[in-house]
A = this chain, B = another copy of it.
Amino acid sequence: MKLGVAYYPEHNKREQWNRDLEQIKEAGIERVRIAEFAWSRLEPNNGEFRWEWLDQFITLAEEYGLEVILCTPTACPPIWLVEEFPDVIPVDEEGRRNVFGARQHRCYNSPPYLHYSLRIVERMAIRYGSNANVVAWQLDNEFGGEQKRCYCDHCKAAFQNAMKAKYDTIDELNERWGNVFWSMEYQRFDQIATPKKYKADLWLKNNPSLEMEYSRFSSDAIVRYSREQIRLIRQHNVGESRPITTNRFPLNWGDNVHWPELVRDLDVAGIDLYSEHLHEIAFYADFNYSLKPGASWFMEYGPNVKNLREGMEQLRGRGCDWFTVFKFKPFPFGQEQGLQELVTLTGEPTDSYRVLQEWSSSYSGDSVSVTKVVPFVQSGVGLFFDFESSWVYTISVWGAQIHHRMHYPNYVIDTVYKSLYRENESHRIVWDADGVEGLHTLIVPLHIVHDRALEDAFLRFVDNGGALVVTSDLFQKNAENVFLDEIPRIYSELFGLSSFIVRPATEEPVLLRKSWGAGKVIVVNKDATPSEWESVVKELNI
């Protein structure tokens, strides 16, 4: 696992660059990630591009032997763009268009945003697609991070089109969403609105099927936009391959982007992480590795933690290639201003700087260091993470703030994964039927959305000798977020049940144990506590 750091040349006078690069180099850092918020410096006016400073910095970095990860600056549209096209800015669930003055102020379905942001992506790709010191690309910054959904008219029209494309007739949509309930039936696709906040004196909310489709639609818009950036960059890449990644937001701050969909067309799985909890660090490392085995990068990692070295060891022992610290120096100004990172505001190296320096020198002598990824133990245990089930749980929480509604990720990480966590062994994170291959044990918490292919895969897995652990809410709903009124065949065939489990007959965490074929299945109460999960894991003897 080798080291990188985020740096902001545009924040510093040129005379400072040398001092900073010197200090970066001396820490044993080999890469700098740059430019992801620099749109206003790269295109200060519409169509007026300024590459000189970036050219110079990349060249200077090369002189210091530092490779560059270049970021597209699309997360921060400059003032001239939002002034000319106010519809670049997203509209919130109350129907209020946001103001300029922070970041992520862009609607992924806004035509002017798409046009102008992809224009600068393409210009960057043309200019730097053959630069020898640009070794990788990061797309944007934390897609869908703080602005998770938009409710503007562009989104409304795009959503109506998406629904038309998916359901074909409005009757089909009404039927599958159950719109007969409360007379919510539409007559035409153009009557469907985005699920703005439903305003009532008591607890009314939007149709959960509408919310489900809007969750999907909002994620899809981000994935589609990411693919456009990829396409443009690949088109202008010259010579050797420059892998493309993006820095995903951790799930505990939002489950709104479908990771497997987003990562599929990228070359590298990239993620940001700010955590001091070893099991959580391990979970994200395992998930990131599972998404792209052999191409797992941490794009941001907060150095101001007590157990920095320990956390880094977790990542190293779980297949991480590149470990990038956010950030070299604290920002004196702006919304993330602070006093220290690897160095203080006044330039002194901090303890974290010394941890990195020690890390890079300690691994420099042995054979392991020449590869970025060290060999590591994989347990043969898989843990299932299903974004659609996560959305179902998010939607079902009444009235909570989006960032308080993370029941599914919190349960998977802090209850289930934590009980599985071991320091020197990684688990595979699985999200579809293909991922089951080669495991001896598969744990599937809160997978409430039914999927026939997955059901078949589970049955085969058990038949072939696998140990399957599911929770009592398994496959209760369909993809429209509607409860099934017939039980799926796994219930009758594998569990020997003729109905869903509504109220468990026992207070034990394990509601059902069955041997079947060469394998076995265990059904765990969906409300099992961390210590109950520990007892389940103990029983599994993995």
Contacts and interface: CB of A to CB of B under 8 A. Distances in A.
Nearest to A329: B485
Most chain B CB neighbours (cut-off 10 Å) among A100, A196, A254: A100
A344 B500 contact: yes
B484 A345 contact: yes
Contacts of A76: 182-184
Given A96-B199, A205-B335, A337-B482, A346 B181 contact: no
Contacts of A11: 178, 180-181
Interface stretch (A36-44, A121-129, A161-169, A437-445): A36-44
A508 interface: no
Interface in A31-55: 37-41, 44-45
Interface size class of A (residues with CB under 8 A): 35 or more
A204 B346 contact: no
Interface in A158-190: 177-187
A218 to B, nearest CB: 11
A94 interface: yes
B102 A182 contact: yes
A49 to B, nearest CB: 14
Contacts of A347: 485
A333 B176 CA distance: 9
B403 A99 contact: no
A207 B334 contact: yes
A330 interface: yes
B44 A201 contact: no
Contacts of A480: 333
B40 A184 contact: yes
Contacts of A180: 10-11, 38, 40-41
Describe A's contact surface by its main secondary structure.
Answer: loop
A201 B345 CA distance: 30
A179 B196 CA distance: 32
Contact of A333 (B40, B41, B181, B500): B181
B44 A185 contact: yes
A129 to B, nearest CB: 23
A206 interface: yes
A321 to B, nearest CB: 28
Contacts of A85: none
A502 to B, nearest CB: 5
A339 B500 contact: yes
Contacts of A201: 146-149, 254, 401-403
Given A101-B193, A205-B335, A183 B502 contact: no
A465 interface: no
Contacts of A205: 102, 335
A503 to B, nearest CB: 8
A39 to B, nearest CB: 5
Contacts of A202: 145-146, 148, 253-254, 402-403
A69 to B, nearest CB: 19
A160 to B, nearest CB: 14
Contacts of A200: 92, 98, 102, 104, 146-147
B101 A198 contact: yes
Interface in A49-102: 73, 76-80, 83, 92, 94-96, 98-102
Contacts of A346: 485-487, 498-500
Contacts of A254: 201-202
A196 B129 CA distance: 40
A75 B45 CA distance: 45
A187 B335 contact: no
A331 interface: yes
A482 B332 contact: yes
A368 to B, nearest CB: 33
Contacts of A92: 199-200
A187 B499 contact: no
A334 B187 CA distance: 18
Nearest to A98: B199
Interface in A498-537: 498-500, 502
A210 interface: yes
A77 to B, nearest CB: 7
B500 A183 contact: no
A104 B147 contact: no
A335 B181 contact: yes
A340 interface: yes
Most chain B CB neighbours (cut-off 10 Å) among A92, A196, A200, A401: A200
A332 B187 contact: no
Given A94-B199, A101-B193, 17 more contacts: A11-B180, A37-B181, A92-B199, A99-B199, A100-B191, A101-B184, A101-B210, A102-B198, A146-B200, A146-B202, A178-B333, A179-B334, A202-B403, A337-B483, A344-B502, A345-B485, A348-B498
- Give the 7 A-B CB pairs with smallest separation, nearest first: A178-B333, A181-B334, A40-B183, A76-B183, A332-B483, A146-B202, A148-B201
